[in-house]
Amino acid sequence: MERRVHVVVLPYPSQGHINPLLQFAKRLASKGVKATLATTTYTLNSIRVQNVGVEPISDGFDEAGFAQAADEDTFLQSFKTNGSRTLSQLLQKYESSDFPVSCIVCDSFLPWALEVAKKHGVYGASFFTNSATVCVIFSYIYRGLISLPCKLEDMPLLFPGLPPLNLPDLPSFLKKPDSHPAYLKMKLNQYPNLDKADWIFANTFEALEGEAARGISELWPVKLIGPMVPSAYLDGKIKGDRGYGASLWKPLSEECTRWLEAKLPKSVVYVSFGSMVSLTPKQMEKGLVCDIVQPSTGTWSSWVLCDSLRGEFDSLGVPMAAVPQWADQLFVEEIWEVGVRAKEDEEGVMRKEAFVGCLKEVMEEERSKDIKKNSSKWREMAKKELSEGGSSIKSIGDFVEHLRLANKKGEAKEFMNGTD
């Protein structure tokens, strides 16, 4: 009897990372794989999903997670130490079961999990939640091909597969590397041990960022498997999959639904701050949005799109007004043409007037027609990538088939050795 493939999926414990990796686990489960999400003890009870197992590992702060740590460095070091130990224990738990682990798919923010995989003799894969464009840029920084901070006199930056990038196009980390040193270090630590990864996955898709991925394929041989959003909005092949099944905050689904149902179609602006960014008091004071929404039009809007939200906007065909803070949204306006970006002033603050102007442009002005048309176009392309014959679904299928064949070979070896 063929042994069932078992994949453990390990996300970084923030909402924008749990969402796409949990969705990937669902995709694997839909193909007959036993999928287990390994998440921190503190986030364990936030996850409610069918057909995917959930197991705890420790970051060393089991009572309150990151909020319990003194700072980012303390949390990340503790997570590496305690996470490595408890992930090893999880693999040992399954070694003597009917479902020994075949592969660990870890968030690229947790490269130590690849070391755990190799220690236990199982496959390891790294999953990048950022866009391919951002991964290209940080890969160049890691290899010393770009010096920080990036300055105006260094512009434009040139990368294979990408158009020339100027200072406003770059992630904020590159302009102010001292603003969040621990997270910048975490970004760069995604790359040193990628040679230990048997697969590298990215939550994007061929039509959107294929050229960017191919531009550095020798340095970053990635498989594009996105967008990882609930199946109901794409191919509809996973029954009942209309939401992620994870929320680190108390969900207000019923209240929000009732409120939305009372509004006219396309009359709501959605503002997302992301799950890891904290805006300065000055930005909060100067960037408050006034009431400009007209009943006959509408859009979704974001100050800061966390990684998974970028995929959601691409997949749902929703126009954007964006204020990039850390990483994503570089191509929202100029390349993908699905929205506009509010510009910061000389003090690095996005003023209310600038943001309101972006909202009006997306919702009311002549350009809004083209933006909505392009948003719908990308939605259809995203659906195609995860439908039968699409490149993303093919990459996922190839991954599963490789693991199945490896399982068969392992069983044959055991039989030949007389251990079965």
Picking from 279, 394, 395, 403, the residue whose alpha carbon sits closest to that of residue 342 is 279
pLDDT of residue 166: 87
Can you give the pLDDT at residue 325?
Answer: 58
- Percent of the chain having pLDDT more than 90? 48
Catalytic residues: 17, 107
Q: What does the alpha-carbon distance between residue 247 and residue 308 come to, in Å, rounded to a whole number?
A: 13
Length of the chain as a residue count: 420
Whether residue 228 has pLDDT greater than 80: yes
Q: What is the mean pLDDT of residues 153-170?
A: 88
Please, which residues have CB within 8 angstroms of residue 178's CB and are 6 or more apart in sequence? none
pLDDT digits (tens, 9 = 90+) for 233-263: 899 999 999 889 888 777 667 788 888 888 8
pLDDT, one tens digit per residue, over 352-410 is 788 788 888 887 778 888 888 888 898 899 999 999 999 999 999 999 999 999 988 87
Using one digit for the tens of pLDDT, what is the confidence trace for 283-337?
555 554 444 444 434 454 433 333 334 556 566 667 777 766 554 556 777 777 8
**Which pLDDT score, from 0 to 100, does residue 260 have?**
83
Supply the pTM of this predicted model: 0.87
The band of 411, judged by pLDDT with boundaries at 50, 70 and 90, is: low
Closest by Cα among 334, 347, 350 to 176: 347
Q: Say what the pLDDT of residue 300 is.
A: 46
Q: What is the model's pLDDT at position 246?
A: 84
The CB density around residue 93, as the number of other CB atoms within 10 Å, is: 12
The per-residue pLDDT for 1 is: 53
**The domains spanning 6-248+389-416 and 253-381 adopt the same CATH topology:** yes
What's the pLDDT at 296? 39
Whose tokens are 């044959």? That residue is: 412
For residue range 256-279, list pLDDT tens digits in order. Answer: 888 888 888 777 777 766 555 555
Q: Which CATH class is domain 253-381?
A: alpha beta
Task: Considering only residues 397 and 73, tell me which one the structure prediction assigns the higher pLDDT.
Answer: 397
Give the phi and the psi of residue 123 in degrees, each rounded to 5. Answer: -65, 155
Distance between CA atoms of residues 300 and 207, nearest Å: 22
pLDDT, position 279:
59
Q: What is the mean pLDDT of the chain?
A: 84
pLDDT of residue 335: 77
Topology given in CATH for the domain delimited by 6-248+389-416: Rossmann fold (3.40.50)
Q: What confidence tens digit (pLDDT) does each residue in 7-25 have? A: 999 999 998 899 999 999 9
With b meaning 16 or more CB within 10 Å and e meaning fewer, what string describes 266-303?
beebeebbbbbeebeeebeebbeeeeebeeebbbbbbb
Q: Among positive and negative, which fits the CA dihedral 278, 281, 282, 285?
A: positive
- Where exactly are the structural domains of the chain? 6-248+389-416, 253-381
pLDDT tens-digit map of 91-119: 999 998 999 999 999 999 999 999 999 99
The radius of gyration of the chain from alpha carbons, rounded to an integer in Å, stands at 22
